[in-house]
Amino acid sequence: MSIDLRAPAAGAPASPPPAGAPASPVVAPARGRSLLRGWLPPLAVLALVLAGWYAVAYLVLEPRLQFLLPPPHAVLTDGFFEPQVLERMGEAVARTVQVAATGLAIAIVLGTAWAVAMSQARWVERSLFPYAVVLQTIPILALVPLIGFWFGFGFTSRVIVCVLISLFPIVANTLFGLQSVDRSHHDLFTLHGVGRWTRLVKLQLPAALPAVFAGLRIAAGLSVIGAIVGDLFFKQGEPGIGILIDNYRARLQSPELFASIIAASLIGVVVFLLFGWLGRRVVGAWYDESRRGA
């Protein structure tokens, strides 16, 4: 019996493994290690935070002052696991999400149109961009009373606060992306006699998508903050999570207060992750790979 020791030809398909042979166990352990590296650091930080929380609640604060920082299990039992509190919190979160989503949608339309207009001519940018900076630097708390006087203290005023808070990141990041297109690409479009609209749609907007979604992630979190700020000042109409937080503060219901604050922060985290996922789906993996190779 002779054994063929010749190497397979280049490009020839590898021979399949014998029937019944176990699959290579390389992929699963590698994936497990990757998940472990991704989740272990934040879980370790969470454990440290909870340990410090318990230490302050039981070792630092006197028993009569524990209402200032209730232990984590009290927040869970009295806040998230109490049916009446959970139902009230769910309704407030739904109203806050509605306000934040409406304000963010309006800010996306206005901010994108604003940035596109400024990207088309330098004189337009010089005329409009200073007002975007002024809008960002004005303390929103100073405008809230005026907004209430002009538009009432209901849904509309809350949406306006969300728009004002979340508008600037969309304008700044979209403008940066539109102006960051490589000059050689512009020269190629000029060589073919491409018009301004085609250049915008087929060159500038696709190239600006990474910066646009970076601005959207920032604006999404700010819109949630705007909805909560509006609740805290416009204490009329159906209560959102901001009014719920203020009510628990006034009643010194610390576990429910902490639970409401955690719920409010989770809204921002979920919205941030949603736009991050949407950005990866729209932009794709090509941008990250090109940055690694640069």
- 144, 138 Cβ separation under 8 angstroms: no
For 244, other C-beta atoms within 10 Å of its C-beta total 27
Residue 103's pLDDT is 92
Alpha-helix runs per DSSP H in 138-154: 140-151
- Which of these, 67, 77, 93, lies nearest to 263 by C-alpha position? 93
Q: In the CATH scheme, what architecture does the domain 70-293 have?
A: Orthogonal Bundle (1.10)
Q: Return the amino acid letter for 4.
A: D
Q: Where are the domains of the chain?
A: 30-65, 70-293
pTM for this predicted structure: 0.75
In the predicted model, residues of the chain with pLDDT beneath 70 are 1-36, 235-237, 284-294
Token pair 């949608």 is found at 105
Residue 104's pLDDT is 92
Q: Read off the pLDDT of residues 89-121 as tens digits, 9 standing for 90 and up.
A: 888 888 889 999 999 999 999 999 999 998 888
Residue 16's pLDDT is 55
Residue 254's pLDDT is 85
35, 216, 278, 266: CA torsion to nearest 10: 50
